[in-house]
Amino acid sequence: MAILDPYEYGLSDEERELAGLVRAFADERVALQAYEADRTKTLPLDIVAEMGEMGLFGLPFSEDVGGQGGDYLTLGLAIEALARVDQSIAITLEAGVSLGAMPVYRFGTDAQRRALLPDLLSGRALAGFGLTEPEAGSDAGGTRTTARLDAGEWVIDGAKQFITNSGTAITRFVTVTAVTGTVGDRKEISTIIVPSGTAGFTVGPAYDKVGWHASDTHPLSFDGARVPEENLLGERGRGFANFLSILDEGRIAIAALSTGAAEGCLEAALDYAGTRIVFGERLGTRQSIQFRLARMQQRVHVSRLAWIHAARLRDTGRPFAAAAALAKLTASDAAMDNARDATQIFGGNGFMNEYPVARHYRDSKILEIGEGTTEVQLLVIARALGLTGPAPSGR
C-alpha cells in the first residue's frame, strides 16, 4: 500500500467519490479482462459501453450538451484510475474525449454539436482525430493532405497514420486536418469531419504495435473522399491553431494516464516484494528493493501534483500550456522509470505478459511520444522560460 492517499491532493468530496468509483470499476471490471484483451488485441466494447453508462465520456462537458458538467480535473481522475490496470482502456477514454468529442464541442456549429455530441458523450460512439501523417508528426505544419471545394463539397486526398479510435464498430467519424489553400507563403490548414463509410475514405488494417494492444489504432487514406461543405469544423484556416489548443489540454490527460501507469507499477511491485521469498526472506526486506520502491513512490507523487496543478490552471481559465508540458514530461518519465523498476523487481516474472508490469513496460514507451514527444515538451518549457531557437548563422 502506498504511503500517500491518492484521494488527497486537495480534492473535493465529489472528486474523491468519483475517483473511488472509477478505481473500483477498474479493479472489479477492467483489470479482469485486461490480459485477454491485450493478448487478442481487441478493444472490449462492453467495457466502453459501461464507461459510457457511468458518464465518463461526458465528464468535462457542460450539461446543456449532455455532459456531466465536470472539468479536466475530474476527467484526469478517471483516466488515472483506469490506467493503473489497463492503459489501452484509459487511452480509449482520453482520446474519445480529448480528440474525438472536444474539437466538436469547442469549435463545432450548433448543428454539429446537436448531431454528434449526444452519442460521443454517452459512449455510444467514438471518433478519431487525423493529424499525424507519414511525413508530418511533431511538425504538423508539414501537412500534405489536401481538401478542395467542388460543387459544395470538400474533396479530400491524402493519408493519416497512428489514429486512435478510428476503426471500431462504433466509430462515427474522424476529424482530419487538411491544406485548404495558402495564405501568402503559408499553408492554410483547416479541419473537416469525415463520417465513417464515406466513399474514398479507407481505414487501413490495425497496426501491430509494441503496446496498447487493445487500443484501436489505424492508418487512414483519402482518395477523392467527398463530404458536404458544412463538414468544415471551426473557422477555415484555423484548424492547426485550434488543434494545438486541444493538444495542450490533452497533455494534462496524458499526464494523468502516465501517473496511473506509474502507480499501477508501484502497487504491483509493492505486493510482489511483500510476498516473494528470496533466500528465505521477503524480497521487500532488502534495502536495495526498498530504495527502488521509495523512488517509485516519489515519482507517482510528483507526477500527480504536476497534472493536478495543470488541470486546476486550465479549469480556472489561467494559462496552462507550460504547466501541461511540465506535467506530461514529468509523468511520462515516471511511467517509464517505474515500469522499468517494477519489471526488475519482478525479475523473470516481469518478462511474462501474464503479469501487469510486463504490459506496463510495453505500453509506457508511447507516453513519451504521443500528444507531443518528450523533445516537444522540452521545447515548450524552454520557450516559457523566454529562450528562443538557435541564433542565425554568424552570430
- How far is it, in rounded angstroms, from Cα 202 to Cα 225? 9
- How far is it, in rounded angstroms, from Cα 141 to Cα 376? 14
The pairs formed by 271-278 with CB atoms below 8 angstroms and a separation of 24 or more are 272/345, 272/346, 272/349, 273/345
- How far is it, in rounded angstroms, from Cα 115 to Cα 176? 18
What DSSP designation does 132 have? -
- How far is it, in rounded angstroms, from Cα 4 to Cα 115? 44
The radius of gyration computed from the CA coordinates of the chain, to the nearest angstrom, equals 21
Q: Which three cell numbers stand for residue 135?
A: 511525413
Longest dimension (CA), the chain: 79
List residues bridging with 202 in a β-sheet.
221
Amino acid letter for position 40: T
Measured between alpha carbons, how far is residue 288 from residues 55, 273, 274, 280, 295 in Å?
43, 11, 14, 17, 11
- For the annotated catalytic residues, the residue numbers are 371
